[in-house]
Amino acid sequence: MNIQDIRKSPLFQGLTDDELQQLMDMAEPVSLRAGELLIRQGDTGDSAYVLTKGEFEIQKQSGQSIIKIDMRNAGDVVGEMALLARTPRSASVISKTDSEALRIPQEAFEKLLSSSSKAAMAVLHWVMARLNQNEALLHQQEKMAALGTLSAGLAHELNNPAAAAQRSASELNKSLLKWQSLTHQIESAAFNANQTEWLNDFMQEAARRFESPLKLEALEKIELTDQLEAWLEANGIESAWELAPVMVNFGWNIETLEKLKGTAFFNLTIQWLGTGCLTMGLLSEIQLTTERLSKIVHAMKSYTYLDQAPLLEVDVHEGLENTLVIMQHKLKQGVIIKREYSPDLPHIEAYASELNQVWTNIIDNAIDAMKGRGEITLRTNLEDNHVAVEIIDNGPGIPENIQARISEPFFTTKPPGSGTGLGLHISHDIIVNRHHGQLLVESKFGETKFKVILPVRITKS
């Protein structure tokens, strides 16, 4: 190794031969095989290295991940920033080939700087260039991190509606086959009973109702469903719990169904009607979930202009109920929903689709915490001109030592591959930053409560 090997580095190009020779006399040559460490992250920055032969990779340990930052070759200097700042190494340097370097200890570097103003200026220019390079690299890493976070969050948010649409499509196939079979049965029964004219009128009325489902307030729908389910069970109708909600959606109630009791095939008529409502309900679910997918994709496209998204008058109860519809496939495994809705809850100003993401994330986490079996209470109240929504599960609770971390990005208690750690981080951002509200959590064994507090009107700062 000679003076010309050191002069390859821009850091030392302005030095005289005597200055370079003085540096070499105090330096120590280092030889490495491929895969060996030249610098270890976290070690004391007590020397710099001039790379004279081979290729080196700079790596940074972040949590459990190793990030490859850059490649360095002959003529580059590494480790000088930690040496000058007298700080621990911020990254590791690994030899990728059989390589050589020259170790310049701290005393040699300090002696060079104190004895030569030209050397001090050269180092200053080098440090400024390295800072600019590091700043540009940092900006690029921030962009990539933001893109990675956005991509992971998008995949997380697309998963629930996509799974719901797939489930609804599968159930729709079964429902259509059953409805087709019931249609043949009821037509044959009507023909044998000489009631084909009545059946034709009845089917035309059903078709009109299928075209115009009702838009009911959440509390009204719950009350009508409970009444109809009890009536169906009292009249010996199977699967009343499944048929009642969808029949209510299309305007069928106790009064209209009582008129069907006079037919000779009452039970068959109710089954045909209920299955038809179920089929139309599944079609509505598919439409709802695909619209949700479309909105998420649209939000992705307009991400840069997110603050221009329209504010809407939102019925919080309707948003919660829509979320339950989309998540029905997970709820029916053994989750009981208790509703304690305030009857005088006002509509609020909100970004509706984003708010539904929050309900989905919290309820989905509650279901997972209870392993698909338990009780979730949805409670709403008006508190000081703010709407408060509480989502409470009776699962095992969140350990106290991690409660403060649950909104951190990528923090998750789920097994690897089961969660991204973004759901609550996204929810916190939507509630706090987008809606100027609060997202609070209280947890103990047997009760975890997420409380969302939202202003009735958003005041933009």
pLDDT in tens, the chain (461 residues): 667 767 767 667 667 778 778 778 888 889 999 999 999 998 988 888 888 889 999 988 766 667 787 888 888 888 887 887 778 888 899 999 999 998 988 888 777 777 767 767 777 776 677 666 665 564 455 445 445 544 555 666 677 788 888 888 888 999 999 999 999 999 999 898 888 898 899 999 999 998 888 888 888 889 999 999 999 999 988 888 888 988 999 999 999 898 888 777 889 999 999 999 999 988 888 888 888 777 666 545 543 334 445 678 889 998 888 788 767 767 878 899 999 999 999 999 998 878 888 898 899 889 988 988 999 999 999 998 899 999 999 999 888 877 776 766 555 555 544 444 457 777 888 899 889 999 999 988 999 999 999 999 987 55
Residue 302 lies in a domain: no
Is the same domain home to 100 and 201?
no
Is the same domain home to 272 and 324?
no
Nearest to 361 by CA among 315, 425, 435, 314: 425
Distances (CA, A) of 427 to 3, 50, 53, 147: 60, 49, 51, 18
Name the domain count of the chain. Answer: 3
* Chain centre to alpha carbon of residue 96: 37
Residue whose structure tokens are 């200097």: 77
Residue whose structure tokens are 């050397």: 119
Residue 132 lies in a domain: no
Is the same domain home to 323 and 444?
yes
Residue 461 lies in a domain: no
CA distance 408 to 171: 37
pLDDT of residue 143: 47
Is the same domain home to 414 and 332?
yes
Question: 423: buried, middle or exposed (CB in 10 Å: 19+, 13-18, 0-12)?
Answer: buried
Is the same domain home to 77 and 200?
no
For 231, half-sphere exposure in the C-beta direction (CA atoms, 13 angstrom radius) is 20
Q: What is the pLDDT of residues 135-171, one digit of tens each?
A: 556 445 544 544 554 455 566 667 778 888 888 888 8
Is the same domain home to 330 and 248?
no
Is the same domain home to 262 and 154?
yes
CA distance 221 to 223: 5
Is the same domain home to 391 and 448?
yes
Is the same domain home to 167 and 251?
yes
Nearest to 321 by CA among 380, 365, 256, 273: 380
CA distance 450 to 361: 11
In terms of residue numbers, what domain contains 42? 3-115
CA distance 67 to 138: 13
Residue 294 lies in a domain: no
Is the same domain home to 239 and 339?
no
- Structure-token pair, residue 99: 């390589």
Residue 301 lies in a domain: no
Angle between helices 266-301 and 352-369 (to 10 degrees): 110
User: For 126-137, b where at least 16 C-beta lie within 10 A, e where not — what string?
Assistant: beeeeeeeeeee
- The answer to whether residues 102 and 24 touch, using CB atoms and an 8 Å cutoff, is yes
Residue 73 lies in a domain: yes
Nearest to 155 by CA among 426, 366, 405, 435: 426
Is the same domain home to 336 and 442?
yes
Three-state SS sequence of 423-460: HHHHHHHHHHHHCCCEEEEEEECCEEEEEEEEECCCCC
The CATH number of residue 353's host domain is: 3.30.565.10
pLDDT of residue 345: 94
Residue 180 lies in a domain: yes
Task: Kindly state the helix (H) or strand (E) to which residue 140 belongs, with its residue range.
Answer: helix 117-192
Residue 249 lies in a domain: yes
